[in-house]
Copies of this chain bind each other. A is one copy, B any other.
Amino acid sequence: MHISSLAVPGGTTLERGLMTPSFTGLISSLCRSSSSADSSSAAKGESVSDTIRVISCYADICAMRHPKEGAPIVASEYSTIPIINAGDGGHQHPTQTLTDLLTIRNLKGRLNNMTIGLCGDLKFGRTVHSLINALVRYEGIRFVLISPEELRLPEYIRQDVLDRQQIPYEEVVRLEDALPKLDILYMTRVQKERFFNEEDYVRMKDFYVLDQEKLALAPEDMYVLHPLPRVNEIAVEVDDDPRAAYFRQVQYGVYARMALILTLLEVKVC
């Protein structure tokens, strides 16, 4: 079995979740970081469609992380092997979402009748976009969207996904205002560069840092998830709280990706 993991310069590296026990023999990423010395196929100007036709000759599966939205779809049209979208730009991150669903299902015992708080960079956060798309398929889902004005969930998701399916949601700026009503709090990084101006950043940055003081406002059975890596948006003091579930989430991510791979390879594990 050979699984090709594909990335491009300027993009990101191998998804960490690929480093699982199923990936013995994982093919090295083609990614190289600097463009001058870069000699990967992408740096030489090869198209996604050409690259995937080549990879199809080598591997049984291709896990693709790409800075351009839609690249995995293009790849799938030319590929003779399954393509796993391991994150495409600010668009989607479906393997993280499988991880998130498995985590929520195991922690809460259900995926329906749930109020989910999504906090941080909701504009560019592909994990958030994917998770919303997945959760709206379940009954009784409500969202609380917690972000600064400039990093709100894109209108195309609010309209095409939430409004169209009449999914209830509210948007708030302060994490404190959302915490008491949540079953799940999904934290993401807010990068300083994406803030508007220095003044707003200084004024708001603490809104998006979860510490024990804020966590005291949350229900006892709320769980905190995060796709990791975190920088400072969850204080280390929170790690020991039984509601901090982000490291358990990592382990679920290994299992979710193992299951995905076995499914794509049509391997039965009895």
For the residues of A in contact with B, the DSSP-based class is: loop
Query: Could you give 18 example pairs across A and B, Cβ below 8 Å?
Result: A12-B39, A13-B30, A13-B40, A16-B58, A19-B28, A20-B58, A23-B25, A24-B24, A28-B29, A33-B33, A33-B34, A44-B229, A45-B229, A50-B229, A53-B250, A54-B229, A54-B247, A57-B254
CB distance A38 to B33 under 8 Å? yes
- Per-residue CB proximity of A227-248 to B under 8 Å, as 1/0? 0111110001000000000010
0 or 1 for each of A31-57: is its CB under 8 Å from B? (1 = yes): 011101111110011110111011001
A37-B24 CB under 8 A given contacts A16-B54, A250-B53, A254-B57: no
List residues of A whose CB falls within 8 A of some B CB: 2, 4, 9-14, 16, 19-21, 23-30, 32-34, 36-41, 44-47, 49-51, 53-54, 57-59, 189, 228-232, 236, 247, 250-251, 253-254
Question: Which residues of chain B have C-beta atoms less than 8 A from A28's C-beta?
Answer: 14, 19, 26, 28-29
Tell me whether B9 and A50 are in contact (CB under 8 A).
no
* Given A19-B27, A54-B228, 4 further pairs, Cβ under 8 A: A23-B25, A44-B189, A49-B236, A51-B229
How many Å from the CB of A22 to the closest CB on chain B? 10
Copies in the complex: 3
Residues in chain B near residue A9, CB distance under 8 A = 37
Residues of B within 8 A of A16 (CB): 41, 54, 58
Kindly state the separation between the CA atoms of A250 and B45 in the bound complex, as whole angstroms.
Answer: 18
Question: Would you call A46 and B231 a contact (CB within 8 A)?
Answer: yes
**A107 vs B20: C-alpha distance in the bound complex, in angstroms?**
40
List B contacts of A33 (CB < 8 A): 32-34, 36-38
Given A24-B24, A53-B250, answer yes or no on A19-B45 (Cβ-Cβ < 8 Å).
Answer: no
Residues of B within 8 A of A34 (CB): 33-34, 37
Contacts of A20 in B (CB 8 A): 2, 58
Q: Min CB distance, A56 to chain B, in Å?
A: 8
Identify A13's interface contact among B11, B32, B228, CB under 8 A: B32
- The answer on a CB contact under 8 Å between A19 and B59 is yes
Contact across chains for A58 and B229 when beta carbons are under 8 A apart: no
| Shortest beta-carbon distance from A148 to chain B in Å | 20
Give, as a whole number of angstroms, the nearest-CB distance from A192 to chain B: 11
Which residues of B sit under 8 angstroms from A44, Cβ to Cβ?
A: 189, 229, 231
Q: Give the residues in chain B near A247, CB-CB below 8 Å.
A: 53-54, 57
